[in-house]
C-alpha cells in the first residue's frame, strides 16, 4: 500500500475513533458502562471473525508463539473504550479526544524515538518536538474552561 492510501485509511480510522465513544456512550445509557464496553467488543469480535474467515491470510495458530505482552492489546482497547464511555458524558467529546490525541502523539514520538517493539527508530528532532508542543498547547486550549 502506498503512503497516501495508508494516511487516508488512518484518517478514516480517526473518524471512527471520534464516533465510537459517543455511540458507546448512548448504548451505555441503555445497558450500563461496562456492559456497553462488553457489547462493543463482542460486536467487533464478531465482525472481525467474519473478516478473518473471508479474507484472513495469517494463521491463528501463531498465537502459540507469542509473548504474554503481545496479547495485551485487547485489554488496552477495552480500557480505552471504557474510559471514553465514562469521560465523554462528563467532559465532552472534544476534550476527551483532545486528551487522547495528545497522549497518543506523545507516546508515539517516544515509541518511535526509542524504536520500541522492534519497529523502525525515528529520532525525536526539533520539528517533532515543536509539533508535540503545539499539539499539547492545542489540547490545553480545548480542555481549558
**Total tally of structural domains belonging to the chain:** 2
77 assigned to some structural domain = no
How far apart are the C-alpha atoms of 90 and 87, rounded to whole Å? 5
pTM listed for this prediction: 0.81
Compute how many other C-beta atoms are within 10 angstroms of the C-beta atom of residue 108: 13
Query: Under DSSP, is residue 49 helix (H, G, I), strand (E, B) or coil?
Result: helix
81 assigned to some structural domain = no
At residue 129 the predicted structure's pLDDT band, cuts being 50, 70 and 90, is very high
2 assigned to some structural domain = yes
63 assigned to some structural domain = no
How confident is the model over 14-27, as pLDDT tens digits? 899 889 999 999 99
Given 28, 54, 80, the domain boundary residue is 54
How far apart are the C-alpha atoms of 82 and 103, rounded to whole Å? 17
Query: Cα 113 from chain centroid?
Result: 20
Instruction: Give the CA distances from residue 70 to residues 11, 15, 121, in Å, rounded to whole numbers and listed in that order.
Output: 25, 26, 19
pLDDT of residue 124: 95
Strands (DSSP E) found in the chain? none
Residue 92 gets the label, from left (phi > 0), alpha (psi -120 to 50) or beta, of left
How confident is the model over 54-102, as pLDDT tens digits? 999 999 999 999 999 999 999 999 999 999 999 999 998 888 988 998 8
Domain region containing 110: 90-145
Amino acid at each position: 500500500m502506498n503512503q497516501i492510501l495508508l494516511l487516508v485509511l488512518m484518517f478514516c480510522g480517526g473518524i471512527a475513533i471520534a464516533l465510537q465513544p459517543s455511540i458507546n456512550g448512548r448504548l451505555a445509557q441503555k445497558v450500563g458502562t461496562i456492559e456497553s464496553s462488553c457489547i462493543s467488543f463482542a460486536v467487533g469480535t464478531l465482525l472481525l471473525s467474519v473478516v478473518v474467515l473471508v479474507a484472513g491470510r495469517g494463521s491463528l495458530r501463531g498465537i502459540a508463539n507469542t509473548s504474554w505482552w503481545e496479547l495485551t492489546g485487547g485489554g488496552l482497547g477495552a480500557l480505552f473504550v471504557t474510559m471514553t464511555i465514562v469521560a465523554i458524558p462528563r467532559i465532552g467529546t472534544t476534550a476527551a479526544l483532545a486528551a487522547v490525541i495528545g497522549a497518543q502523539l506523545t507516546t508515539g514520538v517516544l515509541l518511535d524515538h526509542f524504536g520500541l517493539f522492534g519497529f523502525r527508530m525515528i529520532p525525536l528532532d526539533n520539528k517533532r518536538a515543536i509539533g508535540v508542543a503545539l499539539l499539547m498547547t492545542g489540547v490545553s486550549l480545548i480542555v481549558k474552561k
